[in-house]
Structure 1
Amino acid sequence: FVWFFLLCLSVALRNLFSNATLIMELVPELPFWLGSKIVTLSIPFIIVSTLFYTRTVFRHGKASRLFRFLVAVNGLYALVVVLAPSGFYSVIFPSYLASIGLVFAWIIYLAVAAIRAKQSQAGLLFAGMLFLSAGAIVDSLIYLQAIAYPYVLPITLAGFILQNVVLLARRYAQAYRRAEILSHDLQESLDKLTCTETAFMNAQMKPHFLFNALTAIAENCESDPKKVSQLILSLARYLRKTLDYGNIAELETLERELEHVRAYAAIEQSRFAGIEVVFDLPDPLPPVSLPPITLQPLVENAIRHGLRPRCEGGRVVVSLSCERDQVLFRVNDNGVGMPDDALNRLTLLPQGSGGIGLYNIHTRLTRLYGQGLTIQSERETGTSISFTVPLKGI
């Protein structure tokens, strides 16, 4: 806190200039009257810093009339010390001590109110205020020559500051623990959100895709039973992955993700002549995990928007390569390509219900790995979509 720093600084200056022998050694040319003014001036600075610091610690947000009055009195006395001769402010100092007593009474009132409100560390603060108030009372009686005893306020101030250092350390430790808990809760929420987004991606399967797949199966039942058998198995694998809402993990193994892509590609190749899906993969596959339902929408996008508009079809190449500690995934097609304005909209949240697939994938990859999809396209040449993931997952 700023006010706690000013309180410590004021106490340090008072203790330094109160030691006449040390000051004469450090600053031998310093006039006695100036040193006396600095020592006296440190008192209202200590009181004002204590007022603001206490109000901050006890979370007493609104400044009351009494608080403003006490600040004004100390400010006025500091002004008198600066402008008036030492004889004048020494005469009014006993009256000023009464305002200091009122300050500590107000502070103890705040401490008691904080204890009743069960504020954190309020009891420790109350004990520190009592200790500091006792030192101020004793020093006031010594100054008024009511008792003969060495001044104890420097000791009580040092004890009060040390006690508050401990208090602030405990508060920061509690705040750090709360931040850790909030961070853990936030991570859990993000994990749940990722799973929800994956379920949403699964739910985006268009009904007409299922109808067309069943139609393709029906058309080949008599002419090519073996092909129908393979189509049914591919559709079963695709639906098992797509409709498994209750078993969605944050990351998926590469083998299972490729199985899903192959099932989808087999169905589409049976429906459309001239479409070829090629897998350019290393053997063995690298030990990498990636968000589920990541590659299949990229292949679907290449077929639907790149190859199907061409009468002669085309080719989609799914490839991956290891680069240092990362794996580069790439889905290329030699389709019709797309204009720049359409290219720039692919990773933005679309308006309406359509076209959310690539945006969803881009967002999930960015959240998990810090970077999303890289898309390049050229009209009548084709489109390339790539992304990288760490070699061993997150």
Structure 2
Amino acid sequence: MTLSSSRAGALPRWLPVAFFVTWTMLAVVAVWWFALREPTSRVIFVEMGAGGSLDVSASRLLMHQQLLPWMPWLLLAPYVLWTAFRFPLFGTAKWRNGMVLLVAGALFVGLSAAFQDRAARQQPILAPMPAVETWFPPGFDKTPGGEFGIPLAREIGRDPQIELPEAFGLPPEVDPRKLPGMIFTREEMKQRIEARWAKIASRSKAALGGLAKSPGDSAILLDAFAFGALLIAAHAGIFLRTARRENERAALLDSSHAMARARALQAQLQPHFLFNTLNGIATLTRKDPERAEEMITSLSELLRIALDGERQAEIPLREELHFIDRYLDLQRMRFGERLKVEREINRDTLGLLVPALLVQPLVENAIHHGIEPRGQGGCVRITTAVEGERLVIRIEDDGVGLDPSKGGSGSGIGLASIRERLAALYPGRHAFRSEEPPGGGVRMIIELPAHTSAS
């Protein structure tokens, strides 16, 4: 498994661009339709049903107008979410991002208010029609909302001799014909409203059934609340995406760690190496039984550690050095006095965490590609130090160096695994390089964040 494989299910790069282009076109059409297009009629007459309720068509139109405040939130939501994903309120740039989001919030509220104000001005007036006739007392049409008069429940008629019904919106003993004012029929009311709708609209702060012409403090607060809700949703998405990536990274580390153990075991215990080690132990059983027993113990410990399936991705440096000691015990049996080892281990580094099986492949490379090609043998030097906030590990040999003609190698078994695991565990926070010291040989240097808890 590689880092690129975790992105196998990612969306094509062109898809978000296509989405935003399509959404922008739809937003332009919606703005034109609701805020810029001139309506075919400025006045829509609404039939009053039983109990003063609106008919179905009027109810739908009224619901349409009431949903208009939600329209700018819907149109601007993708852009707000993108801005929040691009400038999250955490990390090293959180204060700068906070200022960007404040500006974006002000634009969101301003555009939403401008849309609502313009859309409100373009909405037709819903004029409720009385069941039969309308009565206007003197001066009643001069009051806000009085342009629509007082609806009467039943027809009064023009003949004074006709008996007046009781349910026409006034006390039964009151006859509107005998009161000052005017009575209009349904058709007369329609003509009156159509002729005076501009004056009616200008005198009313909020057209009957329409929207306010300018948003108040409550509308601004609602817009700000909607922007905040979109920010919260975006950051929740960011945290979920980060958690998913962390899970993918953990799975990658597990897979890489298992591969590292397999590679390390293969490099350490190749058939010829294990065969030679066992032959050496067999020889020592006759010459030096105690030494042979010690070698068997070292080999057993090496196998146990290498095959341990419960090892963590990171372990204390002291455990890694203990593993190297067991490995060097076996190599000394093979090389004898030809192999020398020097250590400069800073005590402050022993408790710091390092990737499991990190140093051993470097020691192995130093022996097999640096010391072994030399007939007279050589020395391997292991150094650890804390420099600032970084743990620095150096593995150096005085062997043949990087010259391939002499058997030297700058890669070796396990080095590719080291690079992969360092990149996965400490992306952008590590260094891994090789140098050629003035006296010959190779020096491998690893720099890690100095830490004692899992990162």
TM-score range, shorter chain: 0.5 to 0.7
Separation (CA, whole Å) in 2 of partners of 1:316 and 1:190: 34
Please state if 1:201 is matched with 2:260: yes
Q: Which runs of 5+ in 2 are unaligned?
A: 1-18, 44-59, 75-112, 128-195
Match of 1:364 among 417, 421, 425: 421
- Percent sequence identity over matched residues? 22
Q: Aligned match of 2:32 in 71, 83, 89?
A: 71
Q: TM-score, normalised by structure 2?
A: 0.54
1:175 aligns with 2:175: no
Partner amino acid for 1:183? T
Residues 260-275 of structure 1: pairs in structure 2 closer than 5 A: 260-273=323-336, 274-275=338-339
Conservation of the 8 A alpha-carbon contact between 2:431 and 2:448: no
Residues 22-54 of structure 1, C-alpha deviation per residue, up to 9 Å, x if partnerless?
xxxxxxxxxxxxxxxxxxxxxxxxxxxxxxxxx
1:224-252 Cα deviation digits (max 9, x unpaired): 1111111111111211111112x121210
- Contact preservation (8 Å) 1:251, 1:291: yes
Q: Which has the larger Rg?
A: 2
* Residue 281 (structure 1) aligned with residue 336 (structure 2): no
More deviation, 192-201/210-219: 210-219
Which residue number corresponds to residue 4 of structure 1?
A: none
CA distance in 1, matches of 2:218, 2:436: 71
Distance 1:69 1:284 in 2: 66
Question: 1:389 maps to which residue?
Answer: 448
Alignment of 1:134-153 (within 5 A): 137=123, 144-146=198-200, 148-150=203-205, 153=212
Alignment deviations for residues 369-391 of structure 1 (CA, whole Å, 9 cap, x no partner): 41231211269810001112333
1:44-90 deviations in Å (ceiling 9; x for gaps): xxxxxxxxxxxx99x984967x9759738977x8xxxxxxxxxxxxx
CA distance in 1, matches of 2:390, 2:219: 56
Indicate the larger mover: 195-204 or 153-162.
Answer: 153-162
Q: Does 1:235 align with 2:299?
A: yes
Is the partner of 1:260 in helix, strand or coil? helix
- The Cα shift of 1:288 comes to 1.0
Report the CA distance shift for 1:178/1:284 in structure 2 as closer, same or farther (over 3 A): closer
Q: Which residue of 2 aligns with 1:298?
A: 362
Asked which structure has the greater RCO (Cα within 8 Å, sep 6+), the reply is 2
Q: Identify the residue that residue 79 of structure 2 maps to in structure 1.
A: none
Whole-Å separation in 2 of the counterparts to 1:94 and 1:133: 11
**One-letter code aligned to 1:191:** A
Q: Which amino acid aligns with 2:320?
A: E
Alpha-carbon distance between aligned partners in 2 of 1:216 and 1:341, rounded to the nearest angstrom? 30
Cα distance between partner residues in 2 of 1:346 and 1:154: 76
Contact 1:346-1:359 within 8 A present in 2 as well: no
Residue of structure 1 equivalent to 2:376: 312
Counterpart AA for 1:384 = R
Say if 2:384 and 2:392, in contact at 8 Å, map to a contact too: yes
Give the number of aligned pairs.
Answer: 295
SS of residue paired to 2:286: coil
Cα deviation, 1:101-149, whole Å, max 9, x if unaligned, reads 99x959959989x99xxxxxxxxxxxx9999977754779896234542
**C-alpha spacing 1:212/1:164, structure 2 compared with 1 (3 Å):** farther
Question: Quick one: which amino acid aligns to residue 388 of structure 1?
Answer: E
CA RMSD of aligned residues (A): 4.5
1:192 offset after TM fit, Å? 2.8
Deviates more, 1:162-171 or 1:217-226: 162-171
Distance in structure 2 (CA, Å) of the matches to 1:105 and 1:283: 74
| Residue identity matched to 1:150 | K
From the superposition, tell whether residues 143 and 218 of structure 1 become closer, same or farther in structure 2 (CA, over 3 Å).
Answer: farther
C-alpha deviation, 1:361, in angstroms: 1.2
- The aligned counterpart of 1:189 is 248
By how many angstroms is 1:290 displaced? Answer: 0.7
Distance 2:403 2:197 in 1: 88
8 Å CA contact 2:69, 2:116 repeated in 1: no
Structure 2: distance between partners of 1:220 and 1:95: 106
Q: Who is 2:222 aligned against?
A: 163
Task: Calculate the TM-score normalised by the size of structure 1.
Answer: 0.61
Q: Distance in 2 between matches of 1:149 and 1:276?
A: 99
Deviation of residue 189 (structure 1)? 2.4
Change (3 A) 1:387 1:73: closer
Distance 1:130 1:366, change over 3 A: closer
1:169-212 deviations in whole A, cap 9, x for unaligned?
A: 21220121121122123223212322321211111122323333
Structure 1: gaps of 5 or more residues = 1-55, 78-92, 116-127, 348-354
Report the AA paired with residue 371 of structure 2. Answer: L
Q: Deviations over 1:266-290 (max 9, x none)?
A: 1111112412222222457543111
- Aligned with 2:290 (options 216, 221, 226): 226
Letter in 2 for 1:319: T
Q: Distance in 1 between matches of 2:401 and 2:372?
A: 12
Summarize the Cα distance change of 1:70–1:198 in structure 2 as closer, same or farther, 3 Å threshold: closer
**Contact 1:298 1:358 (C-alpha < 8 Å) held by counterparts:** yes
Matches of 1:134 and 1:69 in 2, distance apart? 14
Supply the AA of the counterpart residue of 1:170. A
